[in-house]
Every structure is written in structure tokens, then in C-alpha cells.
Amino acid sequence: MTRTKIDIPLPSLTGRRAVVTGGSDGVGLRIATRLAMAGAEVVLPVRNVRKGESAAAAVRASVPGARIELHDLDLSSLASIASFGEAMRRDGRPLHLLINNAGVMTPPSRQATTDGFELQFGTNHLGHFALVAHLLPVLRAGAGRVTSQVSIAVSRGGINWNDLQWQRSYDGMRAYRQSKIALGLFACELDRRSADAGWGITSNLSHPGVAPTSLLSARPEMGRAADTAAVRAIRWASARGLAGTPETASLPALYAATSPDAAPRRLYGPRGIGHVGGAPAEQPLYRTLRKRDDAARMWAVSEELTETAFVGP
């Protein structure tokens, strides 16, 4: 079956600096490559240096002369996040784009971050919350746009307020949904607080649809020795045009982060049937992300847990 190639144009990003988390493979690597093609200087903060070097080499092979900068970053460690933020602030150059793309999904048993948080909540949400707090001065200097990658799974579920760390009743998928709902609530609240405080940054959301990526593949370090049945089914569907591809999955975040038509506090995802694939388009904000009280509560909890605060330049 021949698929029609789906793509979007990007504006010139010459002179712009971008950070992409989770940029060493999959959707994140495609995002980083496209940003470099558009002229951006791309910062790849990576946990695995060897993997990061391979990713940087791949970008340079696709984009001769690409400006790629590697840094150490482990989003499951608050100390690592603080160190990366300090390095970026010390460098002092403005940051124009931040794409919060990295994530982990459904370890079969509960795992914890370096700081004792449930792995998905700690990495997908708290890690990015702390990251933005530490990068706030350089984001303000660049009038930056922050795009946070949520998930189609956010369309249902909720926040387990009575057991945020899933210590009493761990359920991998419910914990994953919570982590992405929390990230989405943060993205909305970040834009509101920036507007109120005059920070000069904007924040929106994207989701990649459904595509075969490494999220559900074998991950021995997460206790998953083999590919899940879900990722095998997604590969089958993608090959038949019934789901997205890694290429189409990268487009909503690229559109949300770079298009002059992408608005703050809006959600962008694939426009195809079921929003699993296709070209990017604005979509209604998920019900789970609409409560301002939940967003303010999650912000306060996140500040307390990460011991970070959003302060002046």
C-alpha cells in the first residue's frame, strides 16, 4: 500500500535556539532534525551520551552544517535537571523554543526516580516542571515558546490526588495518563501565569497520535524484556495506514512549536480519523485539562515536590 507523504513547512528558524527533550531517538530525533533543517541551533539534553552522539551524527548527516549541542540531562533526577539549567543560564544565550517531548510509558511494575517519585509522574511531569523553572530566565530572554507533548491517553482518566505516587495501587496505564494530564495542566497554567506576571513566554500543547515508537518496545531497564502486544498491534496498523508513523507523529509538536498560527494554551494533534495519524491541526482541549483549580493545585504540589519556584530573570 502506497501512503501519501504528509508533511508541513516550517518557518525559517535561523538565529533561534531550541531545546528538545527526548531528542536522541524516535519522534524527538525527527523533531530535532526538522528544527535543524529550518536553521535552528538545537540543544539535545540526553541521559545516554553515546546515544546522544549517534543522534547528533544522524542530524548532521541529514543537515550538513547543522548546529547541534549535546548536554547531560536525566529527567528522573532533580539534581541533573538543576545542573543542566545552571549550565544554560551560565551560557546566557536566549532560548526561543522548548519542546517537552521526553517520556516513559507503563513500566510493568512500579518504579521510582532518583528522588523517590513514581517513575512516570516524576519523569514525564515533575522533570519537565523543574526543567522549565530552571530555564525560565533564558526562556524569558528569548520570549520563548514552550510546547509540551501530552498523549491521546489524556482524553480520559484523572489525577489520583490521594496517591499521586501510586504507592498503594499501582496501575501502569493509569499512572501514565496521570503523568500526561499533569503535564498538560502545567502547560495551561504556565501560559496563564506568564500572561499574568509578564514573563513574555507562551505555552501550548501537542500530542503525536498513535505511531510505532520505542515507548512500548522492549525496555529491559524498565522491566520490559520484550515488545508489548500494543506496540506490535500499532506497527501492524501503521503499516496499513490505520495509524500514524514516526514522521507524522513529529508534526503536531513541530507545528505547535514553530507555526505563527499556533496559539497559546491550545492543543495540536493529528487530524485523521480518531486523531491517531495525519496532518496536524488544532483540537479541542481534553476535558481532563480544562479545570483551572486542578491546574493551580498541580502547580502548587509540583513546586513543593521539586523544591523549585518560578522566579524573576
Overall average pLDDT of the 24-28 stretch: 94
| pLDDT at 311 (0 to 100) | 80
pLDDT score for 169: 94
How much is the pLDDT for 275?
81
How sure is the predictor about 234, in pLDDT bands with cuts at 50, 70 and 90?
low
* DSSP-based helix, strand, coil % in the chain, nearest 5: 45, 15, 40
∠ CA(306), CA(310), CA(313), 5° rounding? 135
Domain-embedded: residue 51: yes
pLDDT band, residue 218 (cuts 50/70/90): very low
pLDDT classification of 309: cutoffs 50, 70, 90? very high
**Could you give the C-alpha distances from 171 to 62, 107, 174, in angstroms and in order?**
40, 9, 5
Q: CA 155, 156, 160 angle in degrees (round to 5)? A: 130
Q: From the centroid of its chain, how far is CA 129?
A: 11
Q: Tell me which residue range forms the domain holding 234.
A: 17-304
- pLDDT class of 210 with cuts at 50, 70, 90: confident
Assigned domain for 117 exists: yes
CB atoms within 10 A of CB 23: 30
- Asked if residue 89 is part of any domain, the answer here is yes
Q: 176, 255, 268, 286: which one is catalytic? A: 176
Lowest average pLDDT, out of 154-168, 242-256, 263-277, goes to 242-256
What is 178-242 written as a DSSP string? HHHHHHHHHHHHHHHHHHHHT---EEEEE---S---GGGS-BGGGTB-S--HHHHHHHHHHHTTS
* 10 in any annotated domain: no
Q: From CA 119, how far away is CA 110, in angstroms rounded?
A: 7
What would the mean pLDDT of 100-112 be, rounded to a whole number? 95
67 within domain boundaries: yes
Q: What is the largest CA-CA distance in the chain?
A: 54
Mean pLDDT of 251-266: 98
CATH number at residue 50: 3.40.50.720
Q: How large a percentage of the chain has pLDDT more than 90?
A: 82
Confidence label for 195 from pLDDT (cuts 50, 70 and 90): very high
The answer to the question of residue 313 being in a domain is no
Assess whether pLDDT exceeds 90 at residue 41: yes
Report the pLDDT averaged over residues 129-134. Answer: 98
| 150/139 Cα distance (integer angstroms) | 21
What is the pLDDT, as a whole number, of residue 207? 97
In a domain, 310, yes or no: no
Please provide the distance, in angstroms rounded to a whole number, between the alpha carbons at the two ends of the chain.
53
pLDDT for 1 equals: 45
Q: Is the pLDDT score of 284 beyond 70? A: yes
Decide if 12 is inside a domain: no
3-class secondary-structure state, position 265: coil
| Residues 6 or more apart whose Cβ sits within 8 Å of residue 141 | 93, 94, 95, 313
pLDDT for res 99: 98
pLDDT at 213 > cutoff 70: no
pTM of the model: 0.93
Nearest one of 181, 150, 193, 210 to 287, comparing CA atoms: 181
Query: Does 176 qualify as catalytic in the annotation?
Result: yes
Domain count, the chain: 1
pLDDT score of 235: 62
Smallest Cα–Cα separation from 183: which of 151, 144, 140?
151
pLDDT digits (tens, 9 = 90+) for 291-308: 999 999 999 999 999 999
Mean per-residue pLDDT over the chain, rounded: 91
Angle at 256 between CA 250 and CA 261, to 5 degrees: 135
